[in-house]
Amino acid sequence: MIIDISKTFSNELISKVLKFVDTLDSAQKEKLFFSYSDQERFNWHYTPIKKYGLALLEMSKNQQVLAFNITKFLLSEMGHITVDKIIELEKILNEWEIIQGEKNNWSRDSGLYYFSIFGKPNNDGNPWGIRLNGHHVLVTINFSSKFISLLPSFFGANPSEILHGDRKGKRILPKEEDIARNFIKSLNFHQSQKAILHKDAPSDIITQNVIHVKKFHIEDGIKFTDLFESQKSLVEELTKHYFRRFKDVFYSEYMESIGNLEKMRFVWAGSLNPKKPHYYSLYHPEFIIEYDNTQNGANHIHSVIRDIRNDWGEDLLSLHHKKFHV
């Protein structure tokens, strides 16, 4: 699922990247830049462990704005707002853990989100990439001339529903949960027997942060072709919601590359009731979507989109050579 984009778009993207880079001093650039071949490009974590790159807390306010202008250019308004909310949750989580008297070894700091650039931003066909990674956020692009990949993509939330303060009751990632639950509750007995594999949900997404998901394949679950039209509409709505994280041009291209959803399978595990541990996955030969809400009293969401064939833009170079050097 690599997307062909216009030269105008790529030039504007590079311009935004260079505008940010030009404000940095040498020490900041040393933290920001990696070679494209560095294995750090695949080293992502959605847990709050130490990350590598240039942290927000190491940037001025103006530099932070310029850095986020890059991700805003790639994400939809909904996607960018969600990233902001997830980052803001670090403060809310810190407050909640203090209220609860919880001890933990993690630093809950909204400044601990890291930008990294892999390779040299250019439009000459040499691959390069950008990553924003921190607790519960992964935004990544890999780019080569006319081709771009934006997967994997991870959004998480702890808490998924805020339990204190002025924003008590506000939910993060609500549609990821609500659309899926509406769907699973619409199934009749025979359909449920196929779709609900386990009464207990796994403790996390199955793919976790593995580098590649090519071997990850779901044979079980309910097939899209076994659904009624109203149920198919819910699966389509859920799938589209995940891909609407991205700017319209990317969303449209992803939907076109997926084509129909006839090869989709849906798997559910855990409770059908809100605020109880639950999990689901959507498997398609082109991509996997996973969602898990089991931790912290089922108030802690992990959700991810993975590209089966081209996570991290694996085929960018071969596509470039086929298009421009045949």
pLDDT tens by residue, 223-251: 999 999 999 999 999 999 999 999 999 99
Let me know whether 143 and 178 are in one domain: no
- What residues pair up with 147 in beta bridges, in sequence order? 4, 144
Q: Are strands 128-134 and 137-144 parallel, antiparallel or unpaired?
A: antiparallel
The answer as to whether 33 is a domain residue is yes
Do 192 and 82 fall into the same domain?
no
Same domain, 88 and 55: yes
Q: How confident is the model at residue 102 (pLDDT cuts 50, 70, 90)?
A: confident
**What does the alpha-carbon distance between residue 180 and residue 246 come to, in Å, rounded to a whole number?**
20
Residue 183: pLDDT band with limits 50, 70, 90? very high
Instruction: Find the domain containing 25 and state its range.
Output: 3-151
pLDDT at 103 over 80: no
| Average pLDDT across the chain, whole number | 92
140-180 pLDDT, tens digit per residue, is 999 987 788 999 999 999 999 999 999 999 999 999 999 99
Give residue 317's pLDDT: 53
pLDDT at 1: 65
Q: What is the pTM of this model?
A: 0.94
Distance CA 161, CA 153 (A): 21
Whether the Cβ atoms of residue 61 and residue 131 lie closer than 8 Å to each other: no
Residue 241 domain-assigned (yes or no): yes
Has residue 75 got a pLDDT over 80?
A: yes
Number of domains the chain contains: 2
Give me the pLDDT at residue 184, please: 98
- In a domain, residue 168? The reply is no
User: What is the pLDDT averaged over residues 303-316?
Assistant: 88
Q: Is residue 213 part of a domain?
A: yes
Cis geometry, peptide bond prior to residue 121 (ω within 30 degrees of 0): no
Whether 248 and 212 share a structural domain: yes
CA distance 247 to 245: 7
Same domain, yes or no: 59 and 147: yes
Contacts of 287 (CB under 8 A, 6+ apart): 1, 151, 258, 305, 306, 307, 308
Which residues pair with residue 154 across a beta bridge?
A: 138, 304
Which residue, 243, 226, 245, 246, is CA-closest to 183?
226
Query: Cα(32)–Cα(49) distance, rounded to whole angstroms?
Result: 18
